[in-house]
């Protein structure tokens, strides 16, 4: 089993990215821990090993890692608030790259299973479901 260190060097190499010390510690920090982290979270963690690191570097590399699929972005969201007036039950198909949103019907969801799997007390009376993928235009550009 390769060390986390070697594992990252290999991944970086595949992506054509330089394997800097900063990238190493950022990657290891996020991958080592389960859960969902903000740039500030990561910065705080990584700083303990590498006090000279900057927040800007954390931002730049998190974005880069997400783009290259080394990390996953939670709730890929438009940079702005969006509202809609359509209150009829329906769901959304969202492009993770261009953030375009289109409506989609919900018959692909088994609501019974869903509520069985949700933790006790989680209110799913009117669940809103968003499915993320790549729209045609963005997946063509690749």
Partner DNA sequence: GTCAGTGCAAAGCCTTTGCACAAAT
Partner DNA sequence: ATTTGTGCAAAGGCTTTGCACTGAC
Q: Which of residues 70-129 bind its own copies (CB under 8 A)?
A: 71-78, 80-87, 92-94, 96, 101-102, 104-105, 107-111, 113-114, 117-129
Binding characters for DNA, 52-81, by CB under 7 A (x = yes): xxxxxx-xxx-x---------------xxx
Which residue in 5, 21, 36, 48 binds its own copies (CB under 8 A)? Answer: 36
Which residue in 14, 15, 38, 98 binds its own copies (CB under 8 A)? Answer: 38
Query: How is residue 119 written in tokens?
Result: 């933790």
Place of tokens 């330089």: 18
* Cβ neighbours of residue 82 closer than 8 Å, sequence gap 6 or more: 101
CB 94 within 8 A of CB 128: no
* Cα torsion through 41, 39, 54, 30, rounded to 10: 70
Q: Does 25 bind its own copies (CB under 8 A)?
A: no
Q: Which is nearer to DNA, 52 or 126 (CB)?
A: 52
């Amino acid at each position: 089993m390769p060390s986390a260190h070697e594992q990252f060097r290999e991944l970086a190499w595949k992506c054509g990215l330089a394997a800097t010390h900063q990238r190493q510690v950022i990657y290891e920090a996020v991958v080592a821990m389960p859960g969902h982290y903000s740039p500030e979270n990561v910065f705080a963690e990584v700083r303990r090993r590498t006090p000279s690191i900057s927040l800007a570097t954390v931002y730049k590399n998190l974005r880069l890692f997400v783009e290259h699929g080394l990390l996953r972005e939670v709730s890929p969201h438009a940079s702005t608030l969006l509202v809609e007036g359509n209150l009829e039950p329906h769901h959304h198909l969202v492009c993770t790259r261009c953030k375009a949103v289109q409506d989609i019907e919900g018959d692909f969801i088994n609501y019974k299973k869903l509520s069985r799997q949700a933790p006790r007390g989680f209110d799913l009376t009117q669940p809103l479901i968003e499915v993320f993928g790549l729209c045609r235009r963005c997946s063509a550009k690749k």
